[in-house]
Structure 1
Amino acid sequence: MHGDARLPRNAKEGLLFLLIISMISANTIAPVIVGLERGFSKEVYLDTLKIIPVMWVIVVLLVKLVAGPLAGMLMPKFAGQTDGFNARILLNTLLNVTVISMLMSIIGTWVGTREVSLAPLRNYLHIWPRNFGIAFWIELLVAQPVARFVMRTLHARQARATDNISA
């Protein structure tokens, strides 16, 4: 999978890939979840925009420091040598979204309400499955495909540039 044109091939591309996914996720998942909690209105959406930068930083840190390493450890236990690209991407997305949604169902509530309380723990079994479902489908159907499209386009341009130089 490392050489696949749909995935980053170096640290710079990895950062771009992460930025695309995290920006799409933060700007869609948070407003949907907050809208379901407080109702969908212009005021609620504008309030959500105020917390998105903080949420984005938290999510990026959790992906890099917690979910990514954990998914990396679990992938070999579940993915077989003959599993294809789509199966591996689906499993990786499932593992990452599970970890992030579990943590953000608590942390996100604290950031959104601007207070650390037991409320997200008391309501955890109610809010986590919903948050996981929202995050998983947005990742699977929007964020990941857009990021992979950008990578494929970037690599196609690089290949054309290399072909033009050698020609």
Structure 2
Amino acid sequence: METNSDDTAHYLDRGYYLVLLVHASADKLSASIVDKNDSFRSQITINILCNVLLMSIFMTVIGSWIGQRGISLEPI
């Protein structure tokens, strides 16, 4: 099965918006956890963990909506 580059770009655009949405929330969450005087490594580590945590929550909910072929509050 051949894939069209336009189809691939369309799916990548959707993922890009999810990353932007999660990144803003993860920045706020990580800012509440770390202090400005903490080391750069600790700030980056907490930021990465917050991004991964929130991304996995969103992907779990979105994936269950796709699997159920409908949007409901059940997975939340």
Q: What is the CA-CA distance between 1:96 and the residue it aligns to? A: 1.1
**Residue deviations 1:46-86, cap 9 Å, x none?**
xxxxxxx73x443321221x211112222322111222222
1:106 aligns with 2:61: yes
Q: What is the CA-CA distance between 1:108 and the residue it aligns to? A: 2.2
Partners of 2:56 and 2:28 in 1: how far apart? Answer: 18
**Residue deviations 1:12-53, cap 9 Å, x none?**
xxxxxxxxxxxxxxxxxxxxxxxxxxxxxxxxxxxxxxxxx7
Q: TM-score, normalised by structure 1?
A: 0.33
| Structure 1 stretches of at least 4 aligned residues deviating more than 2 Å after TM superposition | 56-59, 108-111
**Matched-pair contact (CA < 8 Å) for 1:59–1:100:** no
**Matched-pair contact (CA < 8 Å) for 1:75–1:92:** yes
Partner residue, 1:87: 42
Partner residue, 1:71: 26
Q: Give the residue type in structure 1 aligned to 2:38.
A: D
Q: Which runs of 5+ in 1 are unaligned?
A: 1-52, 125-167
Q: TM-score, normalised by structure 2?
A: 0.62
Structure ranking higher in helix proportion: 1
Partners of 2:49 and 2:60 in 1: how far apart? Answer: 16
Q: Note the aligned Cα RMSD (angstroms).
A: 2.8
**Which structure is richer in relative contact order (CA contacts within 8 A, separation 6 or more)?**
1
Q: Using a 3 Å threshold, how does the CA distance of structure 1 residues 117 and 87 change in structure 2: closer, same or farther?
A: same
Identity of aligned residues (%): 24
Which has the higher Rg, Structure 1 or Structure 2?
1
Partners of 1:115 and 1:75 in 2: how far apart? Answer: 33
Alignment of 1:1-167 (within 5 A): 54=11, 56-64=12-20, 66-111=21-66, 113=67, 115-116=69-70, 121=75
Number of equivalenced pairs: 67
